[in-house]
Structure 1
């Protein structure tokens, strides 16, 4: 099991981790170090356990805020997806059968007249 040297709040620690997780551990430690260093800058004499607790609480607070924003974003995405999934209802007017029948009759008469005119022109 690899041992990784990290620094948090100006204090050095040696931490064991699973093989292959060294970079993850170093990244996590650097995030914790940012918070701890800010706390140490404000109070030089803070005991190590209290400094680590405060840094952890600050990170937890940031995590909760990010999770809240994530939930809000997911809800917005779900809302938008629901709008896309429900197509807009479009009503198309239906032409009454009597009107279409009348139009068919007019078309037939027009064709008959055209045939008569064509017949007279050709004779």
Structure 2
């Protein structure tokens, strides 16, 4: 099992992940942190839970918009349907990772 320390919203968390998934988890955390920073800048100081909730909602909105765009581009063709299905699978995997990250963030924080 791999282990990484990520920073989101100014807090550090130690997470366990599958071997070889460390870099992807770091990239995901960086993206979430960027969303959290954007929210903090526009909405001011939020509680950690509200900040993570808002960041996850923004990211989910982006994913749903992408899914919608991919479905429109598919136009019902077999090739388009295959790409849409592949995109849906990627979105589902991302959602699973986000859920896992959210669960990890709910655990007691380990600060570095």
Q: TM-score, normalised by structure 2?
A: 0.63
Q: Which structure has more RCO (C-alpha within 8 Å, separation ≥ 6)?
A: 2
1:18 matched residue in structure 2: 18
**Structure ID, larger Rg:** 1
Q: How does 1:50-89 map to 2 (within 5 A)?
A: 50-75=50-75, 78=77
- The whole-number CA distance in structure 2 between the counterparts of 1:80 and 1:29 is 32
Q: How does 1:86-101 map to 2 (within 5 A)?
A: none
- The whole-number CA distance in structure 2 between the counterparts of 1:62 and 1:53 is 14
Unmatched tracts of structure 2, length 5 or more: 81-112
- The whole-number CA distance in structure 2 between the counterparts of 1:72 and 1:45 is 38
Alignment root-mean-square deviation, CA: 2.2
Aligned residues: 80
Unmatched tracts of structure 1, length 5 or more: 82-123
